[in-house]
Structure 1
Amino acid sequence: MSVDDLLKRYQTGERNFKGINLIGGYLNGVNLSGASLKGASLSEVDLSKANLVGVDLTEASLVRANLTGANLTEANLSGANLHEAKLTGAILDGAVLKMADLIDADFTAANLEGANLYGAHMMGTLLQGAIMPDGKINN
């Protein structure tokens, strides 16, 4: 599926895009709120400033994806692979990141308030200035 196909189908009301492959795609600033991208291959996709509120990204691959400034409020990223992903300034309030691979991801200045990070793999993760689930800023 191409980025254009995805956006056209989303605009017509479709929300189930389970398992799609958009490696290297450009989705900067798009609205995909409420979509199911469960198991999708989104490695190296530019999703900066995207509206991903309530999106299901369970077990999705977001390796080296750009999620700078994206709104992932209440998104489900359980088991997702965000290895080396860039989430600078992203909003993850209430997001579920259980068992997610966050190794070497950049969460600088991200809002993780209310996020569920249970069992997440965070080796090398940058959290400078991030608002953590306990409400404290990590410096």
Structure 2
Amino acid sequence: MKLKLLAAVALATPLFFVNSVKAGNPQDLQRLLSTGECVGCNLSGMNLNGAHLIGADLRGANLAGANLSGANLEGADFTDANLKGANLTAAFLTNVNFKKANLNNANMTRAHVFDSNVYGASMENLTITDAEIYHTAIGVGGEEGEQIPDWD
């Protein structure tokens, strides 16, 4: 009986560590909120709903699955960041740098995206329902690197 219990605990223990590695780092979150800089940090799955992160430096950060809905991200730098599956619903994304970022499966429903750089970004299954997108190369059915004409 004891041997079976010990074997079950030994087999299950690695699963607890795998799940904890996937979660964001609370110290990284505190650093971002206090300094506005968090280059290369792990914020995956973090709740940043409504956060004011104007000009935040998040180059190379992992924000996979993070909740950034309603956040003000004006002028933020997400160069090489992982935003896979991130929730950017109704976020303010003016002058944001998404260069080479992973935006696969991200949700930008009702987001306000103006004058942002998406050069080299991966945007498979990006949701842009009811989003306002101006002077930013995000569109439906375009080729990678294609520039959307300015009709204003």
TM-score normalised by the chain length of structure 2: 0.72
1:112 aligns to 2:133 (yes or no): yes
Determine the C-alpha separation between the residues in 1 that align with 2:43 and 2:50. Answer: 16
Instruction: Identify if the C-alpha distance between structure 1 residues 63 and 115 changes in structure 2 by more than 3 Å, giving closer, same or farther.
Output: same
- RMSD between aligned residues: 2.5
Shift of 1:114: 1.2
Task: Tell me the distance in 2 between the aligned counterparts of 1:5 and 1:19.
Answer: 9
TM-score by length of 1: 0.78
Aligned to 1:53: 74
Give the Cα separation in 1 of the matches to 2:32 and 2:66. 17
Provide the rounded CA distance (Å) in 2 between the counterparts of 1:36 and 1:110: 24
Q: Per the alignment, in what secondary structure is the counterpart of residue 46 of structure 2? A: coil
Match of 1:69 among 87, 90, 94: 90
Q: Who wins on radius of gyration, i.e. which is larger?
A: 2
Matches within 5 A, 1:20-35: 20-35=41-56
Paired residues, what number? 124
- Displacement, 1:109? 1.5
Q: Deviations over 1:99-130 (max 9, x none)?
A: 111111101121220114597479xxxxxxxx
Q: Deviations over 1:64-109 (max 9, x none)?
A: 1000000010000000001010000111100111111111110112
Structure 1's unaligned 5+ residue stretches are 123-131
Instruction: Indicate the residue corresponding to 2:64 in structure 1.
Output: 43
Question: Moved runs in structure 1, 4+ residues, more than 3 A?
Answer: 8-12, 116-122, 132-136
Distance 1:29 1:55 in 2: 15
State yes or no: 1:134 paired with 2:150: yes
Letter in 1 for 2:93: L
- Is the CA contact 2:93–2:111 (under 8 Å) kept in the aligned structure 1? yes
Identify unmatched segments of 5+ residues in structure 2.
Answer: 1-24
Q: 2:107 aligns with which of 73, 81, 86?
A: 86
Q: Does 1:101 align with 2:117?
A: no
